Amino acid sequence: MAENSGIEWTDHTFNPWVGCTKVSPACDNCYAETWAKRAGTPELWQGNRRRTSAANWAKPVKWNREARTLGQRYRAFCASLADVCDNQVPTEWRDDLWAMIRETPFLDWQLLTKRPQNIVKMLPPDWGDGWPNVWLGTTAEDEHHYRQRWAHVAAVPAAVRFLSYEPALGPIGDLDLGRVGSPDWAIFGGESGAGARPMNPDWARDVRDQCAAAGVAFFMKQMAGVTKRGMPPIPDDLMIREFPSVHHDDVRASA
């Protein structure tokens, strides 16, 4: 599992388990499913899930120790080959994940899901107003899926709520930024990999302008293309990579 992540908006990627099920058009060309087929484990996208090794689970503890020694914070994305809110995952696996997140206060955990309707029932009992080192996000490829999913994220208190508009497959419309429960951070990205579908850079400009007007962080990840090298360059006016401001005044953040 990736350690120093190739994903531009995070520092490390951690997969507590591997496997998922397609839920919307954004999943049609799923890179993780392609990876699983190439690895000879297509069953991981046919209802099965596999917990990763103890050695992999030890990595976030190492990252946390390193961040504390350096007096800084790392961002940790969970999970690139799975979904944290997947209801086909054993509850005890997720309980173990929450326990580790609780014990790694120098990591800002970026939990991204396509199943935000499951968030509330899967939160730890002591969630309260949100843990200071947990960012909650959902993906949405177009306006329909944004409207469908964001309402669930907006209802959950969190240090940061974020939107991953990737792969962008259509315009997303008004994000209602600045209102209670609206995104604190918006990531934009075109699709990559075999069969990558085109995106319109004006969709990104629309989100950029909405973010600028509301004082919300905007992060332009990539254009669309089969390979990273084959993608058009990001236009100068879209080359913006901002992160949300977070205050860690909870005791866990200085433990």
What six digits make up the tokens of 23? 């839920």
Give pLDDT tens digits for 77-114.
999 999 999 999 999 999 999 999 999 999 999 999 99
pLDDT band for position 6 (cuts 50, 70, 90): confident
What six digits make up the tokens of 129? 């107003």
Give pLDDT tens digits for 20-52.
999 999 999 998 888 889 899 999 999 999 999
Where would I find the H helices in the chain?
A: 31-38, 54-57, 59-70, 91-102, 119-122, 143-154, 201-214
Averaged pLDDT, 181-194: 96
Taking a C-beta distance cutoff of 8 angstroms, is the pair 246, 253 a contact?
no
Question: What integer pLDDT is reported at residue 148 of this predicted model?
Answer: 97
Query: How far from each other are the two terminal CA atoms of the chain, in whole angstroms?
Result: 27
Sheet holding 74-78: strands in order across? 12-13, 74-78, 107-113, 134-139, 160-165, 185-189, 217-222
pTM for this model (two decimals): 0.93
Q: Give CA–CA dist 206/174, Å, rounded.
A: 9
pLDDT band for position 3 (cuts 50, 70, 90): low
Q: Give CA–CA dist 246/161, Å, rounded.
A: 11
What six digits make up the tokens of 211? 């973010």
User: What is the share, in percent, of the chain residues with pLDDT greater than 70?
Assistant: 95
Averaged pLDDT, 7-25: 96
Averaged pLDDT, 167-192: 97
Average pLDDT of the residues of the chain: 94
Q: CATH topology for 12-254? A: TIM Barrel (3.20.20)
**For 33-42, 166-175, 212-221, 233-242, which range has the lowest pLDDT when averaged over its residues?**
33-42
Taking a C-beta distance cutoff of 8 angstroms, is the pair 33, 98 a contact?
no
Question: What integer pLDDT is reported at residue 249 of this predicted model?
Answer: 57
